[in-house]
Amino acid sequence: MITKLINLKSVCFLLIFLLLNCKNQTDQSVIKVQSSVKTSTDSTITYKEPFRNQFHFSPEKHWMNDPNGMVFYKGIYHLFYQYYPDDIVWGPMHWGHATSKDLVHWENKKTALFPDKLGYIFSGSAVIDKENFSGLGTKENPPMVAIFTYHNMEFEKAKKINTQTQALAYSLDEGETWTKYKSNPIINNLDKKDFRDPKCFWNESTKEWNLVLVAGDRAQIYTSKNLLNWKLESEFGQNIGEHGGVWECPDLFKLKINNEEKWVLLISVNPGAPNGGSGTQYFVGDFDGKTFTTNQKDTKWLDYGADNYAGVTFSNLPEDERILVGWMSNWSYGQKTPTKNWRSSMTLPRQLSLNKINDQYILQSTPVNSFEKLLKKDYSKAVLDIKSNKKLQFDYPSLNESQINFQTKAENLKLVFYNDVKDSLVLNYIKNKNEFSVDRTHSGIINFGENFATKVHTTVLKNLISDQIKYQIILDRSSIEIFLNDGLYSFTEQIFPNKPYNHLKIISEEDLKLKDFKVSAVNSIWNKN
């Protein structure tokens, strides 16, 4: 009798164990995806180091910040940038230089502009003077003209206010070598502390050159016939927009929407961004060649993540193209990120467009089409079913160099990217709040800057009027870029996991169908796999 009771007890325990085990299995399904791309890190090989982004531009070595002088000429995209060639923190500014034929693969070039007795070389822009209005070249060989800010350190040490002036340099060999204009500066500064970052463009409507720069907490607009002599026409921004910090890196350009044309003014501000530190706001309005006006009341942001700053667009592109690149960092912690030989990357180049929702103009951004050539699709399913309160897990070794696409109803959905040492990055949409958040507070190394991971970055999607959300998520080794509904909202964040993320957990409180679900590895632009 005792033996029968013992056997019965054993059977009961076995049944309970099996039931619990079955329950655990039904709570979470696992899909294992093999990668078509080999990934590895090696601290001794340039562009293979830990945290080195594999398909975003970064300098071979040393410090980089704002993109400058972006211009397209003879099939080549030129990217100049703020560069300090002697350290991985900010220092005496130069212009670094890189070129691309497709906005995806980049070739490092020699340093373009160096500091001199007039000062450091701060941010600016470049144009092609096709008609040789400046007289610095010929019509047969038009000059590439860079207009930039000098920052005079001797004036700063003497506690003078007017440390910054605007200057010009030109190249007659397509950006390879540069000559500084003998009569620099071309725009003097009498009494402004922050007077910088000129963005120049040809205005076909007025047949003049325009230039917009920032002076303190507002923008100034200038005109010129020859790129050398400039007239101040107007100011913008005294009582509009975010004024939590200094205005920087303006851009002014035209975009078409349906049967109308509008002008967009970009203004970066530091601090004052919605999720802390530096960010880029924009205004949509009208421009008559001298004055920019807008009916916009609220502040609009180019990106709702923490790490897209100082973005400007390429000049000399076809009229229907407007492509932006931003500095993928934040001045709150940008000089402290845990990289050794270099510091910071640029965002993926993004195509800009205008949308109109509830009588408001919205600036959208999506990765340029040429990015698609880097993708290798490793998993796809027409409909991926997520059951309520169940977890679907993907095990994927290339997750930290991947793109994930899908579309679903605007219902509660959580995506957790994590690794085997319990670092995690969480994306979360909450329907009843219409709120999207990025939580990097446990994403890996976070202790290098007090403002890097102190809070969850949350945004109310007030322009989301569809009952569907289309997700495009792009992870590189130390970054994530998220585009919702074709860039109606974008979020750019740096991340520094102790080991690459290799698991993705998808969690929903409701039954949910993820349509056109795709996982793709992204090839490195720097090294052959």
- Please write the tens of the pLDDT for every residue from 454-475: 999 999 999 999 999 999 999 9
Residues whose CB falls within 8 Å of the CB of residue 129, separated by 6 or more in sequence, listed in order: 136, 137, 142, 143, 144, 145, 170, 227
> Could you tell me the CATH superfamily of domain 373-522?
Exo-inulinase; domain 1 (2.60.120.560)
Q: What is the pLDDT of residue 529?
A: 46
Q: Which of 112, 106, 124, 122 is nearest to 173 (CA)?
A: 112
Strand partners, 268: 248, 280
The string of DSSP letters for 470-488 reads: EEEEEEETTEEEEEETTTT
Q: What is the pLDDT of residue 528?
A: 59
Domain coordinates of the chain in residue numbers? 62-347, 373-522
Q: What is the pLDDT of residue 16?
A: 46
Q: What is the pLDDT of residue 9?
A: 53
| Digit-coded pLDDT (tens) for 397-415 | 999 999 999 999 999 999 9
By percentage, how much of the chain surpasses pLDDT 70? 95
DSSP state letter for 347: P
Torsion of CA 400, 405, 410, 414, to 10 degrees: -20
Residue 490 burial (CB < 10 Å; 0-12/13-18/19+)? buried
182 pLDDT higher than 60: yes
Model confidence at 291, in pLDDT bands (50, 70, 90)? very high
Looking at per-residue pLDDT, the higher value among 457 and 22 belongs to: 457
| Digit-coded pLDDT (tens) for 359-407 | 999 999 999 999 999 999 999 999 999 999 889 999 999 999 999 999 9
Model confidence at 319, in pLDDT bands (50, 70, 90)? confident
Strand partners, 144: 128, 171
How far is residue 127's CA from residue 499's CA, in Å, rounded to a whole number?
43
Angle made by CA atoms 255, 290, 292, in degrees to the nearest 5: 50
Model confidence at 100, in pLDDT bands (50, 70, 90)? very high
163 pLDDT higher than 50: yes
User: What is the pTM for the complete model shown?
Assistant: 0.94
Strand order in the sheet with 144-151: 120-128, 144-151, 164-171, 179-180
How far is residue 129's CA from residue 316's CA, in Å, rounded to a whole number?
10
Take residue 128 and report the two structure tokens written for it.
């092609």
Take residue 265 and report the two structure tokens written for it.
């003014």
Residues whose CB falls within 8 Å of the CB of residue 315, separated by 6 or more in sequence, listed in order: 70, 71, 72, 125, 126, 127, 128, 200, 201
Model confidence at 229, in pLDDT bands (50, 70, 90)? very high
Task: Tell me which of 27, 42, 66, 385 is the catalytic residue.
Answer: 66
Angle made by CA atoms 482, 477, 28, in degrees to the nearest 5: 70
**Residue 46: its H or E element:** none
Angle made by CA atoms 233, 151, 219, in degrees to the nearest 5: 25
The mean pLDDT of 317-324, rounded to a whole number, is: 94
486 pLDDT higher than 60: yes
| Digit-coded pLDDT (tens) for 201-219 | 999 999 999 999 999 999 9
Q: What is the pLDDT of residue 499?
A: 98
By percentage, how much of the chain surpasses pLDDT 90? 91
5 pLDDT higher than 70: no
Q: What is the pLDDT of residue 38?
A: 84
| Coil/strand/helix, residue 364 | strand
Residues 395, 500: contact at Cβ < 8 Å?
Answer: no
19 pLDDT higher than 50: no
The mean pLDDT of 208-233, rounded to a whole number, is: 98
Active site residue 66: yes
The mean pLDDT of 279-306, rounded to a whole number, is: 98
Model confidence at 10, in pLDDT bands (50, 70, 90)? low
- What amino acid is encoded at 492 in this protein? T
Report how far Cα 8 is from the mean position of its chain's Cα atoms. Answer: 64
132 pLDDT higher than 60: yes
Q: What is the pLDDT of residue 23?
A: 43
DSSP state letter for 444: S
CATH number of 62-347: 2.115.10.20
Strand partners, 427: 415, 438
Torsion of CA 488, 326, 77, 62, to 10 degrees: -150
Q: Assess whether the region 62-347 and the region 373-522 belong to the same CATH fold.
A: no
Q: What is the pLDDT of residue 353?
A: 98
